[in-house]
């Protein structure tokens, strides 16, 4: 199966998906270990590190780009982020991490409803095109 989307930040990644049921702010919403700590979030306690994060959009604080960039530097960030609504703050964190550390976390705009929860995803985002493919166990 394949889904095409728009690249917000280029890169490639493989991993298991985690689908958020509510928007999340990385700042105040996740800790340095990539865990959701927002007590109001329905998935509080879940760890995002290495997962393909699927969420509608980010939320709240403008510091989210710093927190994401720091997680990318510390290797505790998600492997990739798929959004359904453009959010400028999340790709900005990825852009700065790429400038400073040459680490690319792909951020893609794509409808992800068709992706099953038990899939293993591959995200490939070039500046002009993004594709998401998967296999199921």
The set of catalytic residues is: 61
Q: What count of Cα atoms within 13 Å lies in the side-chain half-sphere of residue 78?
A: 30
The distance of closest approach from Cβ of residue 10 to another protein in the complex, given in angstroms and rounded to an integer, is 11
Q: Assess 126 for contact with another protein (CB under 8 A).
A: no
Q: What is the DSSP pairing of strand 11-15 with strand 119-125?
A: antiparallel
Q: And the tokens for 23?
A: 């928007």
The distance of closest approach from Cβ of residue 132 to another protein in the complex, given in angstroms and rounded to an integer, is 18
Among residues 50 and 93, whose Cβ is nearest to another protein?
93
The distance of closest approach from Cβ of residue 1 to another protein in the complex, given in angstroms and rounded to an integer, is 26
Q: Assess 51 for contact with another protein (CB under 8 A).
A: no
Laid out side by side, the sheet with 119-125 consists of 11-15, 119-125, 130-136, 2-9, 107-109, 80-83, 52-55, 17-19
Q: And the tokens for 64?
A: 């989210």
Question: Where along the sequence are the contacts to another protein (CB under 8 A)?
Answer: 8-9, 23, 27-29, 32, 37-40, 57-67, 69-70, 72-74, 85-86, 88-89, 91-93, 95-97, 99-100
């Amino acid at each position: 199966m394949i889904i095409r989307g728009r690249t917000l930040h280029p890169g490639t990644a493989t991993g298991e998906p985690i689908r958020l049921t509510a928007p999340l702010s990385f700042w105040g919403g996740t800790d340095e270990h990539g865990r959701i700590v927002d007590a109001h979030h329905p998935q509080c306690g879940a760890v995002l590190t290495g997962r393909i994060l699927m969420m509608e959009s980010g939320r709240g604080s403008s510091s989210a780009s710093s927190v994401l960039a720091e997680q990318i530097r510390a290797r505790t960030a998600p492997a990739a982020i798929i959004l359904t609504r453009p959010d400028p703050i999340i790709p900005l964190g990825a852009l700065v991490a790429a400038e400073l550390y040459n680490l690319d976390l792909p951020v893609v705009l794509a409808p992800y409803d068709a992706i099953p929860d038990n899939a293993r995803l591959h995200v490939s985002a070039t500046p002009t095109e993004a594709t998401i493919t998967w296999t199921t166990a």
